[in-house]
């Protein structure tokens, strides 16, 4: 429990630091996608280097580390991916709140709130605790399902906040489509690398995937990280589809008036 208390405190500090870094700049939508892409590439490369540290589990299912270096490896991977997800959600959050209203601010805060609640609920599922939160009682399971669904609902609600699209020229819309599509592709790769489990028969570093290391460090942090990355993926995908529709509609309208 002390581990998770320290974990919450440390990552709250990381959250505040990333928030202040993002708020100090007011990039254009095109710059926002560029910076997000660079952050994903940089964070993914750093996580890849951390993943090359020798060390694995004796048993992937039981998360029994074969060496003490596994603790360092797990911590580095978790910190890098969590920091990346924080940057993605804060940076794209500037586009979500491009035109701020009471409803948009409320939906944004509720999304963060429910992701935080999911984080807290999943804490008992950690490998250091004997009972699994799903089997230890119906209450944990029900609270997890309701909070998780609420987080998904508000992720979807925030993903349709696209007021910035109408401010872009045709050339900027085309550039945003390309950058948004690249963002979608990169986030799909990161999320798949995070959630796909490794085969229990593989115990070497070469064959293991990141998920066991992330779960070993903190299952709750892993879930929050995936939810934030999922928000970035859905928002980028929604942006691309909306930009394509808006661009085609604008071109068709221009031809009809000529």
Which residues of the chain carry a pLDDT beneath 50?
A: 130-131, 133-135, 200-206
Does any domain span residue 218?
Answer: yes
pLDDT tens, position by position, 76-104: 999 999 999 999 999 999 899 888 788 88
Q: Between the CA of residue 48 and those of 51, 78, 113, 142, 205, what are the distances in Å?
A: 5, 12, 30, 36, 12
Does any domain span residue 111?
Answer: no
| Tokens 């070993």 sit on residue | 216
Does any domain span residue 60?
Answer: yes
Task: State which residues form the domain around 195.
Answer: 2-97+161-257
Q: What's the confidence (pLDDT) of residue 252?
A: 62
- Tally of domains in the chain: 1
Does any domain span residue 114?
Answer: no
Does any domain span residue 136?
Answer: no
Does any domain span residue 29?
Answer: yes
Q: What's the confidence (pLDDT) of residue 130?
A: 43
Q: What's the confidence (pLDDT) of residue 59?
A: 61
Percent of the chain with pLDDT over 90: 41
Does any domain span residue 105?
Answer: no
User: How many whole angstroms separate alpha carbon 30 and alpha carbon 19?
Assistant: 20
Does any domain span residue 131?
Answer: no
């Amino acid at each position: 429990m002390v581990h998770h208390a320290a974990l919450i405190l440390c990552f709250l500090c990381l959250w505040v630091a990333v928030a202040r870094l993002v708020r100090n700049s007011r990039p254009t939508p095109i710059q926002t996608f560029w910076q997000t892409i660079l952050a994903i590439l940089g964070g993914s490369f750093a996580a890849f280097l951390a993943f090359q540290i020798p060390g694995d589990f004796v048993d992937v299912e039981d998360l029994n580390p074969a060496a003490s270096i596994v603790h360092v490896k797990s911590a580095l991977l978790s910190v890098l991916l969590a920091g990346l997800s924080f940057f993605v959600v804060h940076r794209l959050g500037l586009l979500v709140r491009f035109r701020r209203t009471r409803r948009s601010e409320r939906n944004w805060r509720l999304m963060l709130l429910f992701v935080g609640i999911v984080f807290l609920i999943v804490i008992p599922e950690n490998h250091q605790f004997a009972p699994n939160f799903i089997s230890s009682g119906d209450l944990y399971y029900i609270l997890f399902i309701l909070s998780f669904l609420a987080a998904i609902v508000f992720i979807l609600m925030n993903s349709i906040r696209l007021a910035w699209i109408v401010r872009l020229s045709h050339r900027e819309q085309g550039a945003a489509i390309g950058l948004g599509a690249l963002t979608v592709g990169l986030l799909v790769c990161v999320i798949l690398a995070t959630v796909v489990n490794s085969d229990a028969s593989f115990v070497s570093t070469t064959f293991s995937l990141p998920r066991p290391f992330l779960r070993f460090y903190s299952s709750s942090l892993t879930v929050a990280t995936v939810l934030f990355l999922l928000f970035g993926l859905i928002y980028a995908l929604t942006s691309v589809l909306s930009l394509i529709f808006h661009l085609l509609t604008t071109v068709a309208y221009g031809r009809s008036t000529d």
